[in-house]
Amino acid sequence: MSESNIFLDRSKLSARYIPNELHHREKEMSLLLTMFKDSYIKPDAFLFSTPQIIGRSGIGKTSTIIKFSNMLESEFTRAGLTLKVAYINLKLQGGNKYAVYRFLLEKIAPELPSQGLSAEEMLRYLLSYLYENKLYTLIILDEIEFLLRSNKDSGIIYDFTRLNEFDLSKHCNVIGVIFIARSTDFHDKIDSSELSTLGRIPIEFLPYSVEQISDILVTRSSESFNPKVVGTDIIDEVSLITTSSQVGGDVRYALDLLLYAGNLAETNGSDRITLEQIRKVHGYNRPSITIEDLKELPKSYLLTIMAILKVQSKRKKQYIELKEIRTFALELADEYKVKKFEFEDCMNDLLERKIIEMKSLKEIGMNITSLVELEPLLEQQINKK
């Protein structure tokens, strides 16, 4: 037993934690392993591959791909080869082609210089480096639609789908580029030649059923909580909430729900989580954002959310005016010395992500977690960035 009456290991409820066994993604994992099997058996004859992974948030896309890439690395090692995996979350490291290519170069070949090089030069340096050192790499581009939404230059897709054509005199040691997106809507933002090289047949991750989410939560709970803290009634309730149209099958929300309820039970001195606690947390935690989402948002977005909370707290109202939010946000940006703060862009993107809702210029609201719990978490994340 841990020192806590409730938690055995809180970290196992993190969306970043990848369990040893991923339930109900065996079919997708098997398909990927089959697709890349020849990459370590016949690496110099393997055809460069660009699969798309499509599915809504919180249904195991990223976890499956990271688990798959770890398994693929092991297969390369057993074959006496070296595979370097470069995972890039474009919501974090993206912004433009140059930023992505520089991050890629630093991730795979940190000893190579990047200063003074154009985006295309960095890519050519990287391909030559891999070939000359007999190294292989797999590139994973997550949240591809975010990059296309924030940057009108879709040429990055063209580049990444034609890496094997950069130097026809040499074999391309990038075995593949995996694109991860929430839907195929991003196809509308790229031209026909890019879509042709990308392909039109993605690997679709379907939402989990109630029974599948229940299986996942049983495993996570056994790793996260002390025995008897989470009963079958809790698993059933959280599974039903998670598969509701409001949440849309997002397992990350289910994990957050259990974490918040566990914190509430611990604060109350309970030795188990109750249905009342689950329902209470769900009541003030409208599923528009999770703890893990907050960790990934840029500082300017966090400051904008903080401004909304400050105005809501001051006015004691859920819906507030845009001009008040802007005033608070600019003050916070000045306080935290954020030089380039595009308030309107932050608001527009938060609206697109459905983190906030806007009925009019005088009715802007956000109802996610209690202000008491969210403000300290926001401050902590802001100070880290």
User: Mean pLDDT in the chain?
Assistant: 88
Do 162 and 238 lie in one domain? The reply is: no
Burial class (CB within 10 angstroms; exposed 0-12, middle 13-18, buried 19+) of 103? buried
Per-residue pLDDT at 153 = 58
Pairwise CA distance, residues 89 & 99, whole Å: 12
What value does the mean pLDDT take over residues 291-319? Answer: 84
Q: Which helix (H) or strand (E) holds 284?
A: helix 275-284
Q: Tell me, what's the pLDDT at 286?
A: 53
Q: Please state, in angstroms and rounded to a whole number, the distance separating the CA atoms of residues 367 and 352.
A: 16
Whether 127 maps to a domain, the answer reads: yes
Q: What is the pLDDT of residues 246-279, one digit of tens each?
A: 788 999 999 999 999 999 999 999 999 999 899 8
Q: Are residues 379 and 360 in the same domain?
A: yes
Instruction: Say if 13 falls within a structural domain.
Output: no
Which one of 228, 259, 284 terminates a domain? 284
Model confidence at 1, pLDDT cuts 50, 70, 90, reads very low
Q: 158 with 76, same domain? A: yes
Q: Between 157 and 53, whose confidence is greater?
A: 53
What is the span of the domain harbouring residue 295?
Answer: 291-384
Same domain (yes/no): 217, 318: no
Could you tell me which of 243, 375, 354 has the C-alpha nearest to residue 288? 354
Q: How far apart are CA 57 and CA 142, in angstroms?
A: 12
Q: How many domains is the chain built from? A: 3
- Confidence label for 287 from pLDDT (cuts 50, 70 and 90): very low
Determine how many CB atoms are found less than 10 A away from the CB of residue 276.
10
Cα–Cα distance between 32 and 51 in angstroms, integer? 9
What are the pLDDT digits (tens) for 330-375? Answer: 999 999 999 889 999 889 888 877 778 787 888 887 755 445 557 7
CA atoms of 333 and 353, how far apart (whole Å):
21
Instruction: Evaluate if residue 87 carries a pLDDT over 60.
Output: yes
State the Cα–Cα distance between residues 131 and 343, nearest whole angstrom: 45
With residue 328 as reference, give the H or E element that holds it. helix 322-335
Give the Cα separation of 265 and 6 in Å (integer). 7
- pLDDT of residue 166 exceeding 60, the answer is yes
Band (pLDDT 50/70/90 cuts) for residue 285 is low
Whether residue 47 is found in the same domain as residue 133: yes
Q: What is the pLDDT of residues 92-122, one digit of tens each?
A: 776 678 888 999 999 999 888 878 888 889 9
Assign residue 118 the CATH number of its domain: 3.40.50.300
Domain boundary among 254, 284, 314: 284
Whether pLDDT at 60 is above 90: yes
Q: Are 139 and 160 in contact (CB under 8 A)?
A: yes
Q: 142: closest CA among 172, 193, 103?
A: 103
pTM for the whole structure: 0.74
Least confident of 153-157, 194-198, 296-300, 338-342: 153-157
Unique residue bearing structure tokens 């960035």: 385
Strand order in the sheet with 203-204: 83-89, 136-142, 174-181, 52-54, 203-204
